[in-house]
Structure 1
Amino acid sequence: MAKRPNKAIRRYLKRHGHDVPEASTLPAPHPDLRASVVIPAYDELDNIGRVIASLEQASETPEVFEVIVVVNNARDAAADKVEANRKTIAMLRDLQTPFALHVVDRSRPEQAYDPEDAGVGLARREGADLALERLLSVGRGADGLMPCLDGDSPVAPGYIDGLIAEFDAYPDMLAGVCRYRHPVPDEGEHARAIAAYEAWMRYWEAAMVLTGSPYAFQSIGSCMVLSARGYALADGMPTLQALSDFYVLEKVIKAGGPGAVRQLGAPLVYPSARPSGRVPRGTGPSVRMQMETGTTRFEMAEPPGVFFALGSLFDAVQEGFRNPEALRDAVDSSGAYAPILAKLLQEYLDEIDAWPTFAKLRDNAPTAAHFARHFHTWFDNLKVVKFANVAKRSRGGVWIFDAVRDVYAALGLTQVATKIPRVGPDEADVAAWRELLDVLRDAELAVHLSM
């Protein structure tokens, strides 16, 4: 079993791996290394110390993990950001930690990134490629892990030990997603913004579980844990300025099939809730947008009928291998839930040439299981997002409190659904938003056990 992962990793490093000079200058990894934590950091002088401190309680045997921090900026970054990064590097190098802590300097002018390429994706890619080489060097190609954190997202005690235990329990898992809690501030406007964003994320995840899609997981960079072999099979981290986590997890699913990515039960991360414009998409800019513009983007969710209609289609995939009309019948029958959304789905499938594509996939699949995998490889997470956006533009959004209630009830989590506050947009105060988050957080794992 170990040889095949090692072969895939070596092939990846040879064909796609970044040449990271630090690979030859850092101290050799501990022989017991199992996990190499990768943290991209840009202008995190005030935050990264808390992240490193939280990792001191991550394992009872600190030699099993190390931390690689890639402090980075573009060559044309503002002088104050470069100076903050310089101080960050100096502070990190002065720390005494029970685990090995390595700093990769991509801040100085001769090492900083090209402005067109700079961003969290490139920094995470370099750190992960370095981590991969180090895990391979101690024979951990088959079971090595690369947890991905951010410079402002600390973890709960036992984080590393929990990861190792769960990956050992599910050896076929290629990646995992940790539980998470955004800190909710006391200030009302900020609290509402982050609560709406997290509630929407949990709504989307539950709705995707309802559809039966293999892409039913969160894509939060600081909650992502990649196995060494999963990372190699997915051809590494996309070097994007945003959404690299979304795309790499999607690639892991396509490489490994359903079940390749799992919700983890124990490890817990606290992603930052601060409004930020450092990256074009993600938590920071989403919170900032809500606070600055008063938008209801995350308070008014994609209609639940979107996911009822998709669920009807996805449920028919296996039968659709034997009976090509089963997929069309499933789309038509989804009108029993939401007639207008069923019509929109029919139009969307026509627009993306789904029917001739399904026919080709069927012709090239030897079994129903192969057809189902090919189907979801093509009808991926991005296509679901695009259809949901089409439906929301056409039909309007649904108040998030009502949307989550409908989806959780459809999942059979009726006790959860009944606990969701019955308030409207003008009635929801900070206490109601906190209550909603508490309910959804308590049901975090139950969502994945419901289907």
Structure 2
Amino acid sequence: MNKVLPNDVFNYLEKKSYRDWQLEWDSVSGIEAAIVVPAICEFENLKTLIQSLSKNDTDSLKKTLLIFVINNSVTSDIDVKLNNQNTIKFLRQLNTGDSSNHLQSEIIKSGLRIGLIDACSEGCEFNEKLSGVGFARKVGMDLALTTFDYSIPGKKIIISLDADCIVDTNYISEIINYFTVNSTSVANIEFEHNFSESKINSSGIIAYEIFLRHYVTGLLFAKSPFAFHTVGSTLICDHKAYITAGGMNTKKAAEDFYFQQKLAKHFRVERILTTRVRPSARESWRVPFGTGRTMMEISSGEKNIQVYDPDIYLILKNWLELFYSDLSLNIESLISETKKIHPELFNFLTNRNFIRDWTNILENSKSTKQLNYQRKNLFDAFETLKLAHYLRDKAFPMMEISPGVKKLFRILEHNYKLDLENGNIISDKYLGKLLTEIRSVEFSLYENLNQ
């Protein structure tokens, strides 16, 4: 079925997309959402993901296409390539209605629509320079643009997911409903790492999620425009936002961070709290950093999870209030007030040539709207993280989880009834309670800021 693409979609694909891969699917009308899943050596996990998606309601499944990008590089290990070939075979059997076992029959009967991009067979493999999760996501998301039924009014939604996840039964319907009702352009879906898996370091993954939520809660407290999680399996945007941001990047890791940063410079990043995605807590070699790599380092004893000193969030809060105020329009006032907040903040900005760059922006910005965009462009998510690292190294060392969370709660004036242990934490039960509490605090802070 040939589709007439809107001009913005056509122009984007002409300029930004790669043409070496094709999407295998039974082309139908009515597609309004596409779930894009990069997968390398994920045969078993992929079956679990598909099964969880197939339990979503029939109406949502009819308007959704699940796109797998099965990929490896030309230099990947033979075991990886064989696993991918088994995956390709399994997906093609689903698309032809070949139900050789109960699982396949169950998936086929659900009506789940599946698309496949073969980037793993001989002649289709990624070259070593491009291979990686960022490029795989980009290939899938770009081709997703060609599947939407643009004759139907409303949002066309691109959903990023990973092969090692499971989702709730209302996952698709809640995403579509949220984007439709709220006219949303960009959102994160709520996540909880899957602690029920066997062979995982439960204390390690709980501590890691506490670290992630401690940082985002601190950013929410500081009222940063970049106060969101950057987990690849939680990111959602509509097709217009995707094009505005220039599409997915091709980084081998942190592709989700940099893509979401670009989106946040143009759109407010909202949060969907009414459903969940549950990423795996496994160890993984697939990317050079992130959850899987962190779990490997924890298990090997290379890493001990700590959290930032919340004084860093206080400095960030004071800095953002200054930077987004009229005082920042006068360079001398900006310098003077910055030094009052903390001398290391001023040193950081000096080292990053901030004053020079901001002076240039002030001289060339012609409107308040342009100036506010340049504020987010100059001091973005990456600069925020760089500031946290700089203050960590110069003045505020990392803290053990228990006292670090206790200090954050005190700054937030949050009363926590469970006695907080000091020093290193051993009890998984205690860690779990702490994670539950910081999740609750984070959600409340987000909702209060967005009322």
What TM-score, normalized by structure 2, do the two folds share? 0.89
Q: Is the Cα contact below 8 Å between 2:294 and 2:303 reproduced in 1? A: no
Match of 1:425 in 2: 423
CA contact (8 A) 1:76 1:115 kept: yes
Q: What is the match of residue 337 of structure 1?
A: none
Give the unaligned 5+ runs of structure 2.
95-107
Spell out, residue by residue over 1:208-261, the C-alpha distance to the aligned partner (whole angstroms, 9 max, x if none): 11222111100101111121111111111111111110011111112x14x2x1
How many angstroms apart in 2 are the aligned matches of 1:50 and 1:187?
Answer: 15
* Residue 12 to residue 74, structure 1, CA distance change in 2 (3 Å): same
Q: 1:450 to 1:77 in 2, by over 3 A?
A: same
- 1:290–1:374 Cα change, 3 Å: same
Shift of residue 75 of structure 1?
0.9
1 CA distance for matches of 2:334 and 2:369? 15
1:218 to 210, 214, 229: 229
Asked if the contact 2:401/2:424 (under 8 Å) is kept, the reply is no
In 2, Cα distance between equivalents of 1:68 and 1:232: 19
Task: Tell me the distance in 2 between the aligned counterparts of 1:401 and 1:124.
Answer: 37
**What is residue 63 of structure 1 aligned with on the other side?**
62
* Counterpart Cα distance in 2 of 1:330 and 1:189: 48
What residue in structure 2 maps to residue 153 of structure 1?
A: 165
Question: How far apart are 1:16 and its partner, in Å?
Answer: 0.4
- Residues 328, 334 of structure 2: 8 Å contact kept: no
Q: Match for 2:27: what amino acid? A: A
Shift of 1:301: 1.7
Q: Are 2:16 and 1:13 aligned?
A: no
Q: Show the counterpart of 1:130.
A: 143
Residue equivalent to 1:338: none
Distance 2:299 2:447 in 1: 35
Q: Which residue of 2 aligns with 1:281?
A: 289
Paired residue type of 1:448: Y
Whether contact under 8 Å (1:215, 1:381) holds in the other structure is yes
2:441 to 418, 422, 443: 443
- Mapped partners of 2:400, 2:280: distance in 1: 25
% of aligned pairs identical?
A: 23
Counterpart contact for 1:309–1:331, Cα < 8 Å = no
- Choose 75-84 or 418-427, whichever is displaced more: 418-427
| 2:195 alignment counterpart | 184
1:379 counterpart residue number: 379
Task: Tell me the distance in 2 between the aligned counterparts of 1:64 and 1:188.
Answer: 37
Report if aligned partners of 2:48, 2:166 keep a CA contact under 8 Å in 1: yes
**C-alpha separation in 2, matches of 1:293 and 1:283:** 15
Show the counterpart of 1:327.
334
Selected match of 1:49 from 47, 52, 63:
47
Q: Per-residue deviation at 1:333?
A: 3.7
Secondary structure at the residue paired with 2:300?
helix
Give 1:170 shift: 2.3
Give the alignment partner of residue 278 of structure 2, picking from 270, 275, 286: 270
TM-fit CA distance, 1:273 = 0.3
Give 1:6 deviation, angstroms: 3.9
Task: Report how far residue 90 of structure 1 moved.
Answer: 1.3
Distance 1:420 1:201, change over 3 A: farther
Between the aligned partners of 1:346 and 1:370, the Cα distance in structure 2 is 25
Show the counterpart of 1:339: none
Maintained 8 Å contact 2:190/2:234 = yes
How far apart are residue 109 of structure 1 and its match? 1.7
Q: Which residue of 2 aligns with 1:166?
A: 178
Q: Which residue of 1 aligns with 2:111?
A: 98
8 Å CA contact 1:20–1:130 kept in 2: the answer is no
Of 138-147 and 278-287, the range deviating more from structure 2: 138-147
1:404 equivalent in structure 2 = 405
Task: Give the Cα–Cα distance (whole angstroms) in 1 for the partners of residues 245 and 154 of structure 2.
Answer: 15
- Give the distance between the partners of 1:370 and 1:411, measured in 2 at CA: 33
**Residue deviations 1:45-86, cap 9 Å, x none?**
111111111111233402111101111111111111111111
After superposing the two structures, state which structure 1 stretch, 13-22 or 43-52, moved more. 13-22
CA displacement, residues 263-298 of structure 1 (integer Å, 9 cap, x when unaligned): 1122310011001111111110011111112422x3
- Matched with 2:99 is none
Q: How much has 1:330 moved relative to structure 2?
A: 3.9
The code of the aligned residue for 1:178 comes to I
TM-fit CA distance, 1:402: 2.6
The TM-score, its normalising length taken from structure 1, stands at 0.89
Taking the TM superposition and a 5 Å limit, the aligned residue runs for 1:364-375 are: 364-375=364-375
Amino acid at match of 2:374: H
| Counterpart for residue 357 of structure 1 | 357
- 8 Å contact kept, 1:71–1:107: yes
Cα separation, partners in 2 of 1:114 and 1:144, compared to 1, 3 Å: same
Matches of 2:283 and 2:51 in 1, distance apart? 23
Q: Kindly indicate whether the alpha-carbon contact (under 8 Å) linking 1:142 and 1:229 is maintained by their aligned counterparts in 2.
A: no
Match of residue 238 from structure 1: 249
Q: Which residue of 1 aligns with 2:218?
A: 207
Check the 8 A contact 2:234/2:277 in 1, yes or no: yes
Q: 1:306 aligns with which of 306, 309, 312?
A: 312
Further displaced range: 402-411 or 125-134: 402-411
Aligned to 2:213, what secondary structure does the other structure show? helix
C-alpha distance in structure 1 between counterparts of 2:258 and 2:241, whole Å: 13
In structure 2, C-alpha distance between the alignment counterparts of 1:268 and 1:75, rounded to whole Å: 35
CA apart distance, 1:305: 1.6
Partner Cα separation in structure 1 for residue 64 and residue 176 of structure 2: 10
Q: Which amino acid is 2:52 matched to?
A: S
- Equivalent residues of 2:72, 2:119 under 8 A apart: yes
Which stretches in structure 1 are left out of the alignment for 5+ residues? 335-341
Shift of 1:92: 2.0
Write the letter of the residue equivalent to 2:299. Answer: M
